[in-house]
């Protein structure tokens, strides 16, 4: 068994993949964040900086400040809107395989979107509707130009992101409601739109979206702790949610109305717009795959280089509507200094630069403000990337195992 493991490691090394990144030996983030942890304003956080094979990991403070339980890379947390990027990757897989086109009408897969109505006015309880002229496309729902509101009506009364209804039902309710503007002409950030994209994945694959995601992304990358249904054992080690308070220690919160307890009973449904539980260790596997243009750190190829470059790492929106690709914040034009990735409502964030093989991950569970450590964290990231790091012998992953 030992010989077999050595052969696997040697094969990965030959292909240009390192089993583990090299510790940078720096402590920029830990030093910058310590004062805020010491005064209780920042209960706990995980910061990861990566550059071309070198990595700085800082796990500061607590996952549970009340019990003084240290935060770790393996503690689960709600990543909220970072889920959108996972839906974007599943769409990209199907585009790459020729099973869908970004400019396909959504009605090709879900006929109820064949006729859409736009609300032109709402005065004294009387709504005036006009029929939409533009066809709603897969591209539009995935880059927030489809005209859908942020959420469905009565969102919180239904229990939030993971407790409202199955993806197919979300799509059908959305199709029955007036949209906000002519599809493709403006942008409105929308969880609903991303869920419609996931419903398209279900129609094309014949599988539940979360099953397709697990089969094509989680399992190949070794993301064993990411799920829409965290186990009781995982929740025993979750990163707790806190409310930021000015000049005071953060206050513990039982939950947020957008993500209501219990988290894993039979009334929980997957939500592509915001609903995935994960760990920092799993997130690193996903975002390093994006940074490496479709190849995981373990050598598993999820997407082709050109697919990532053309529809994930750069905006798919019309000119003048800002930068956003498929479930990911992305630059309008790709360039050496441009980053793409996503953040989440409880403060999580991960951005990557594929040109320079750079990554910066931030994992917290916080609501409200202020957040006085943000500037210190930004300065720490700049210091890390500017530091002189010996990268001799380290090779970028781009172009390997095509």
Domains of the chain plus CATH, in order, are 24-77+218-326+343-386 (3.40.710.10), 88-209 (3.40.710.10)
**pTM of the entire structure?**
0.90
- Structural contact between residues 242 and 43, judged by C-beta atoms closer than 8 angstroms: yes
- Structural contact between residues 289 and 296, judged by C-beta atoms closer than 8 angstroms: yes
Condensed to tens digits (0 to 9), the pLDDT of residues 66-84 reads: 999 999 999 999 999 999 9
Mean pLDDT value of segment 38-58: 97
Task: State yes or no: pLDDT of 344 exceeds 80.
Answer: yes
Condensed to tens digits (0 to 9), the pLDDT of residues 212-256 reads: 999 999 999 999 999 999 999 999 999 999 999 999 999 999 887
DSSP annotation of 262: P
For 258, phi and psi rounded to 5 degrees? -80, -10
Of 19-23, 86-90, 392-396, the range with the lowest mean pLDDT is 392-396
Condensed to tens digits (0 to 9), the pLDDT of residues 90-136 reads: 999 999 999 999 999 999 999 999 999 999 888 888 889 999 999 99
Report the pLDDT value the prediction gives residue 19, as an integer from 0 to 100. 54
Report the pLDDT value the prediction gives residue 389, as an integer from 0 to 100. 54
% of the chain at pLDDT higher than 70: 90
**Percentages of the chain per state (helix, strand, coil), in multiples of 5:** 30, 20, 50
Report the pLDDT value the prediction gives residue 110, as an integer from 0 to 100. 98
Task: State yes or no: pLDDT of 279 exceeds 90.
Answer: yes
Q: Nearest-CA neighbor of 33 among 75, 55, 64, 62?
A: 62
Confidence of residue 154 (pLDDT cuts 50, 70, 90): confident
Mean pLDDT value of segment 267-289: 95
Task: State yes or no: pLDDT of 368 exceeds 50.
Answer: yes
Report the pLDDT value the prediction gives residue 121, as an integer from 0 to 100. 86
Confidence of residue 378 (pLDDT cuts 50, 70, 90): very high
State the Cα–Cα distance between residues 157 and 167, nearest whole angstrom: 17
Which position has the higher pLDDT, 205 or 1? 205
- Sign of the C-alpha dihedral, residues 215, 218, 190, 341? negative
Q: Coil, strand, or helix at residue 50? A: strand
Task: State yes or no: pLDDT of 267 exceeds 90.
Answer: no
State the Cα–Cα distance between residues 381 and 24, nearest whole angstrom: 13
Task: State yes or no: pLDDT of 17 exceeds 80.
Answer: no
What is the token pair recorded at 154?
Answer: 């009565």
Report the pLDDT value the prediction gives residue 257, as an integer from 0 to 100. 77
For 147, phi and psi rounded to 5 degrees? 95, 10
Which position has the higher pLDDT, 316 or 393? 316
Report the pLDDT value the prediction gives residue 264, as an integer from 0 to 100. 78
Pairing of strands 54-64, 22-23: parallel
Task: State yes or no: pLDDT of 390 exceeds 60.
Answer: no
State the Cα–Cα distance between residues 251 and 155, nearest whole angstrom: 25
- Sign of the C-alpha dihedral, residues 202, 208, 210, 214? negative
| Mean per-residue pLDDT of the chain | 91
């Amino acid at each position: 068994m030992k010989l077999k493991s050595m052969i696997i490691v040697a094969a990965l090394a030959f292909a240009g993949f390192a089993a583990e990144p090299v510790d940078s030996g720096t402590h920029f983030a830990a030093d910058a964040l310590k004062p805020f942890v010491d005064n209780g304003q920042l209960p706990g956080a995980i910061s990861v900086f990566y550059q071309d094979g070198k990595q700085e990991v800082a796990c500061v403070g607590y996952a549970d400040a009340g019990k003084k339980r240290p935060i770790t890379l393996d503690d689960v947390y709600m990543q909220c809107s970072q889920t959108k990027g996972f839906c974007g990757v599943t769409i990209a897989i199907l585009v790459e395989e020729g099973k869908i086109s970004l400019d396909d009408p959504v009605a090709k897969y879900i006929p109820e979107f064949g006729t859409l109505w736009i609300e032109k006015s709402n005065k004294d309880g009387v709504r005036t509707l006009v029929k939409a002229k533009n066809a709603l496309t897969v591209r539009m729902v995935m880059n927030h130009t489809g005209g859908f509101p942020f959420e469905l009506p009565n969102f919180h009364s239904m229990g939030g992101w993971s407790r409202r209804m199955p993806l197919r039902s979300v799509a059908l309710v959305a199709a029955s409601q007036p949209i906000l503007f002519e599809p493709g002409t403006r942008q409105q950030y929308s969880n609903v739109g991303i869920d419609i994209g996931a419903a398209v994945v279900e129609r094309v694959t014949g599988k539940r979206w979360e099953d397709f995601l697990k089969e094509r992304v989680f399992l190949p990358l070794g993301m064993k702790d990411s799920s829409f249904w965290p186990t009781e054992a995982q929740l025993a080690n979750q990163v707790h949610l806190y409310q930021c308070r000015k000049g005071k220690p953060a206050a513990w919160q039982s939950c947020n109305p957008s993500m209501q307890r219990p988290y894993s009973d039979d009334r929980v449904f997957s939500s592509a717009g915001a609903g995935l539980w994960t760990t920092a260790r799993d997130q690193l596997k996903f975002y390093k795959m994006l940074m490496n243009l479709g190849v995981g750190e373990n050598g598993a190829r999820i997407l082709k280089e050109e697919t990532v470059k053309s529809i994930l790492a750069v905006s798919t929106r019309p000119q003048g509507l800002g930068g956003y690709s498929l479930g990911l914040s992305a630059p309008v034009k790709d360039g050496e200094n441009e980053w793409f990735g996503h953040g989440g409502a409880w403060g999580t964030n991960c951005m990557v630069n594929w040109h320079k093989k750079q990554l910066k991950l931030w994992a917290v569970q916080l609501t409200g403000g202020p957040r006085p450590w943000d500037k210190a964290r930004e300065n720490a990231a700049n210091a890390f990337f500017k530091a002189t790091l010996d990268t001799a012998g380290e090779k970028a992953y781009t172009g390997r195992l095509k």
